[in-house]
């Protein structure tokens, strides 16, 4: 009962914040916003693959034929997004002359573990972190990261809806 009240309370606060933000936006434009406002675009790549079978690595689960599809293929068919595509997209923006071009990327902990296990087993993803390491320390003209690695919980939780102890377990 206590947990449901906590979730309901958090959901009400989130909804109230969204409504107040919408009201503030409408109020600004109702007072006469600039005729040609600047347009800002944000990119966020969110990467996730679960632990497919409890207490097994993705390699062990695949080798045990627990599913009618190949977990190796599930991951290797997405090797571009997991390795180079976000970095390449950001560099195209930089090369086109956009000095503040950048993006955000989040990886769940379970995906990182899967990619590490696949790399160790020789199923692709050797040095999969190298493209990220090449760009993560590059900055925009204003000194912001070109790619900002956003933290996300291990099993893809919605952290605001978890209690403190569960959040700590996800980190």
> Do 18 and 50 sit in the same domain of this protein?
no
Strands 44-47 and 147-150: unpaired
Expressed as residue numbers, the domain containing 144 is: 40-170
pLDDT > 50? residue 30:
yes
> Do 80 and 21 sit in the same domain of this protein?
no
Phi, then psi, of 150 in degrees rounded to 5: -95, 130
Q: What is the dihedral of CA 97, 99, 101, 107, to 10 degrees?
A: 120
Give the count of domains, the chain: 2
Position 74 scores a pLDDT of 95
Long-range contacts of 48-56 (CB under 8 A, 24+ apart): 48/107, 48/108, 48/110, 48/111, 48/152, 48/156, 49/74, 49/75, 49/108, 49/110, 49/111, 49/114, 50/110, 50/155, 50/156, 51/110, 51/113, 51/114, 51/155
In the block, tokens 């944000």 appear at 42
> Do 34 and 49 sit in the same domain of this protein?
no
> Do 93 and 75 sit in the same domain of this protein?
yes
Position 32 scores a pLDDT of 61
> Do 103 and 148 sit in the same domain of this protein?
yes
pLDDT tens profile 33-69: 556 777 777 888 999 999 999 999 999 999 999 999 9
Position 156 scores a pLDDT of 83
Alpha helix positions (H), the chain: 2-30, 58-63, 71-76, 79-83, 85-95, 109-120, 130-135, 164-170
As a whole number of angstroms, the distance between CA 66 and CA 58 comes to 11
The token duo for 24 is: 């503030």
143-154 mean pLDDT: 87
> Do 16 and 45 sit in the same domain of this protein?
no
14-23 mean pLDDT: 71
**3 pLDDT band (50/70/90 cuts)?**
low
> Do 120 and 105 sit in the same domain of this protein?
yes
> Do 89 and 23 sit in the same domain of this protein?
no
18-32 mean pLDDT: 67
Position 167 scores a pLDDT of 84
pLDDT > 80? residue 21:
no
pLDDT tens profile 87-105: 999 999 999 999 999 999 9
> Do 16 and 54 sit in the same domain of this protein?
no
pLDDT > 70? residue 1:
no
Position 29 scores a pLDDT of 65
> Do 119 and 135 sit in the same domain of this protein?
yes
125 close to 115: Cβ distance less than 8 angstroms:
yes
């Amino acid at each position: 009962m206590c947990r449901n009240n906590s979730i309901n309370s958090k959901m009400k606060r989130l909804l109230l914040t969204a409504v107040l933000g919408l009201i503030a936006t409408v109020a600004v434009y109702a007072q006469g916003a600039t005729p040609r406002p600047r347009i800002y675009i944000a990119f966020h790549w969110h990467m996730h693959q679960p632990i497919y079978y409890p207490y097994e690595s993705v390699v062990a689960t695949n080798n045990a034929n627990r599913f009618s599809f190949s977990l190796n293929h599930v991951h290797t068919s997405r090797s571009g997004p997991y390795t180079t595509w976000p970095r390449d997209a950001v560099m195209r923006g930089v090369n086109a002359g956009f000095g503040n071009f950048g993006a955000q990327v989040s990886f769940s902990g379970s995906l990182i573990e899967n990619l590490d296990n696949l790399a160790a087993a020789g199923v692709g993803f050797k040095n999969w972190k190298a493209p990220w390491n090449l760009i993560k320390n590059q900055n925009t003209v204003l000194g912001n990261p070109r790619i900002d690695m956003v933290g996300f919980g291990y099993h893809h939780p919605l952290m605001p809806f978890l209690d403190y102890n569960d959040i700590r377990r996800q980190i």
